[in-house]
Structure 1
Amino acid sequence: MLNTRDMDMLHGSFWDKLIIFAIPLALTGVLQQLFNAADVAVLGQFVGKNAMAAVGNNISVIGILVNLFMGLSLGANVVIARFIGAKKPEKVGTAVQTSFALAVITGFLLLAVGEILAAPIINWLDVPAEVEAMAETYLRVYLLGLPLIGVYNFEAAILRARGDTRTPLLALAAASVVNLALDLLFVSWGWGVMGVALGTIIAMGVSSFILFWSLTHSQDILRLQFKDFVFDRRMLREIAAIGLPAGIQGMVFSFSNILIQAAVNSLGPDAMAASAAAFAIEVNVYCFLNAFAQATTTFVSQNYGAGNLPRCFAITKVGMLLDIAFTLGMAAVVIVFAREFFAIFNADDTVVELGIVRFWYIVAPQFLQVFIDVLSGALRGYGFSLPPALLALVGICGVRITWLYTLFPAHPDYGTLMACYPVSWLITGIFIGLLYRYCRRHIKLIRV
């Protein structure tokens, strides 16, 4: 039975379908970021910049965990989309059930590991004494919601495999309202950083339950059933083979950001607060960038499963052009209205000026990252997930670590630190572009 929110990715024009698929996905990413942005804004307005810095200090740490979930869920998305394209409904059902089980297991495993490592991580980041206790409190409470975050990401990935990006958006919209209301309520009770973290957990529970209800009551091939539940080890290996490298690639970005966060911390609370507020704004540009990359992955996966390689190649080209256009447009809006955006978080002049410096180094040239994300996404659609992850490890982490231990110590200012972002994007993008050209010549159709 065809769901009314299914999208035919195999026939007809696809540039318009890429946009229809990507925009709700981008808005979903924006709403996900609003969870952290709401935390930062509420604390900045009603508690103080130290509390705001404490949350900002954890963004990169949380990013590592969330990126692992998103990468693994992307593996589920690719595998399910490929089976849909190949018209293998029985394998779709097995993949859906295996993916859900993987989400639950991974969520609780990361929760346990995260709670054990929370204090060492905060110490390793060299958080200033006036922020340290609040930073650890926020991280520990937030970690309790990891199983819910994992389940939501996998549920959303399952729905995206058939072209439904609207249902995850609506679920997260409801959760965002809950999150903001609880943030304000808990802060008014004097709960501070613990309150905003708790509000986030409850809100993520709302969004994951809505998608759970949708999947368990679906009447099509994506229905999640617990009667005769199947956990297929072979299917798990297929999902992990694509999803784990994708997760590692996302974690590499976040790990390098943790190293940069430690350097930001050395510049004091003003730089920390500026980075927290700027990140909460600039990451919305990345949501659009990443949405078109994920759209490319899903469209390529379905058409690869259907055996249409020329259409796969055309989708990658058009996805790249659309992504660059949307990223440049979003970047222009952020740069032009930079001060107005910052006023939402904190009006301190020093914080605002440092944040604007960050925008020029990160938001303005962020279109360079399109080449990394879209080409990596296309390669994952064909099953080549490990090579771009390895290149990201070398290009992103290698360049940024080298920068942090050479140029930054020689010129320890905020601008020098931020310049490592565009340089690493440029170098990594060139290498992944060469990898894509090589892999494209060696892509062969497979039987699924």
Structure 2
Amino acid sequence: LRALAVPDSIFGITGIYLRITFLGAPFTFFYNALAAGLKSVGDSKTPLKFLAFSAVLNAVLDLILIGGLGFGIVCSAVTTVVAEAASALLAAVYMARRVPELCPGQGQWRIRRDLLGPILRYGAVTAVQQAVQPICKVLIQGQVNALGVGAIAAFNAVTRVDDFAFTPEQSIATAITTYIAQNRGAGQTARIRRGFAVGLRLELGYWLLMGSLTLLLRRGILSLFVAGEGAADVIALGSTYLGCMAVFYALPALTNGFQGFYRGMGKMTTTLIGTCLQAGLRAAAAAVLAPRVGLPGIAFACAFGWCVMLAFEVPYYFWTCREL
């Protein structure tokens, strides 16, 4: 937290918040493993339903306990952990009842070396890729922290909106991955291009909906997350950021679609290179723009990273299609 330049006025409470949220990490790991298992057998809707339930439960608990009863920010960490635990529990119960073939048997609770190697090979690239994004977010958070408490409050609010906007885009990308992988395995190459085109249309259609709602309702949305003294300034700052991002949401819609395509084609190195380009250049751009432009500079840094990622992945897509 010191390295991230967290202001002294909120340093103590931030430390407590982190300790509590870290306690919920095992629930997140458990849910991700179960969700991956369900998606592997073609059930991508159920994990999304559990994730949506978790998000709604978290928001409702925050509104009741913090907004209504006046509990502090520490309560937000507790509600987050509770929501994560609920999604993991629901996924476990569902899998045990509906997909028992995925549940390990009595003699399967051991490490098998013949399976460990392939799992590590497949998972290592994905793990590195998944680690790049949080590292980038930490670097960007450091730039936001230097802008002061008002910018921190606004950024925390708008990232909630960003997460809500990105989750369906990522889910569509997961569907693209599953569809392409299945058709690639079946040798149905003609269906790969058609399916990918449909996936991109879904991504852009969702962006039109989400971007329009965000642009029109951004102040009202932010008022759900911001209250108390100085709320008007925080909402004004956050609405400027969301006004830019409402347009820029089209870029991650496309990058998620292409990432889904490359994962389905088994080109995990390509997805890693694209992610590293996007995250690294976004963090670098944020370091340049945030001190000069403020919070909107973070939005433009995100757009820059996504554009570079597309500049790499789109031409390579046409090269890849030569193999089909």
Q: Deviations over 1:90-131 (max 9, x none)?
A: xxxxxxxxxxxxxxxxxxxxxxxxxxxxxxxx1211100011
What do the CA deviations read for 1:38-73 (whole angstroms, capped 9, x no partner)? Answer: xxxxxxxxxxxxxxxxxxxxxxxxxxxxxxxxxxxx
2:283 & 2:56 partners in 1: Cα distance? 39
Equivalent residues in 2 for 1:355-374 (5 A)? Answer: 355-374=238-257
**Distance in 1 between residues matched to 2:66 and 2:208, nearest whole Å:** 38
The equivalent of 1:255 in structure 2 is: 135
CA distance, structure 2, for counterparts of residue 414 and residue 179 of structure 1:
26
- The 1:195–1:246 alpha-carbon spacing in structure 2 relative to 1, beyond 3 Å, is same
Please give the alpha-carbon distance, in whole angstroms, between the structure 1 residues aligned to 2:132 and 2:36.
21
Aligned to 1:375: 258
AA matched with 1:367 = A
Residues 346-384 of structure 1: CA distance to partner in whole angstroms, max 9, x if unpaired?
252211111111113323122112232111111111211
Structure 2: how far apart are the matches of 1:318 and 1:180? 32
- Trace 1:44-63 onto structure 2 (pairs within 5 A): none
Q: Matches of 1:346 and 1:325 in 2, distance apart?
A: 29
Q: Distance in 1 between matches of 2:42 and 2:261?
A: 16
Partner of 1:276: 156
Q: Secondary structure at the match of 1:419?
A: helix
Count of equivalent residues: 319
Is contact 1:282–1:334 with CA below 8 Å preserved after alignment? no
Which SS does the other structure have where 1:336 is aligned? helix
Q: Which AA in structure 1 matches 2:300?
A: A
Q: Kindly tell me: are residues 179 and 425 of structure 1, through their superposed partners in 2, closer, same or farther at Cα, counting changes over 3 Å? A: closer
Equivalence map 1:116-135=2 (5 Å) = 122-135=1-14
Change (3 A) 1:132 1:432: same
Q: How big is the shift at 1:341?
A: 0.8
Query: Hey, what does 2:284 align to over in structure 1?
Result: 402
Preserved contact between residue 246 and residue 389 of structure 1 (Cα < 8 Å):
yes
* Equivalent residue runs for 1:162-177 within 5 Å: 162-172=41-51, 175=54
CA distance in 2, matches of 1:316, 1:241: 26
2:187 to 277, 302, 307: 307
Letter in 2 for 1:427: V
**CA positional deviation for 1:298:** 1.1
Give the letter for the 1:366 counterpart: Y
What RMSD, in angstroms, separates the aligned Cα atoms of the two structures?
Answer: 2.6
Aligned to 1:436: 317
Instruction: Check conservation: 2:226, 2:235, Cα contact below 8 A.
Output: yes
Shift of 1:136: 1.2
Kept in 1, the 8 Å contact 2:200–2:257? The answer is yes
Quick one: distance in 1 between partners of 2:98 and 2:151? Answer: 48
**Cross-structure match for 2:93:** 213
Residue 273 (structure 1) shift? 0.8
Q: 1:336 to 1:312 in 2, by over 3 A?
A: same
List gaps (5 residues or longer) in structure 1: 1-121, 444-448
Which of 7, 16, 20 is 1:141 aligned to? 20
Equivalent residue, structure 1, for 2:197: 317
Identity of aligned residues (%): 26
Match of 1:207, as an amino acid? S
CA contact (8 A) 1:335 1:359 kept: yes
1:137 Cα deviation from its structure 2 partner: 0.9
1:285-304 CA-to-partner distances (Å, cap 9, x unmatched) read: 21221121111011112222
Q: Secondary structure at the match of 1:138?
A: helix
Structure with greater contact order relative to length (CA < 8 Å, sep ≥ 6): 1
Q: For structure 2, which runs of at least 5 residues remain unmatched after alignment? A: none
**3-state SS of the aligned residue for 1:123?**
coil
- The alignment's TM-score, normalised by the length of structure 2, stands at 0.87
Cα distance per residue 1:181-200 (max 9 Å; x no partner): 65545898886333332232
Q: 1:419 aligns with which of 283, 300, 303?
A: 300
Structure 2 vs 1, CA of residues 254 and 360 (structure 1 numbering), >3 Å: closer, same or farther?
farther
Kindly provide the CA deviation profile for residues 397-445 of structure 1, in whole angstroms up to 9, marking residues without a partner as x. Answer: 1x22432444545x253333431111111111110112222333346xx
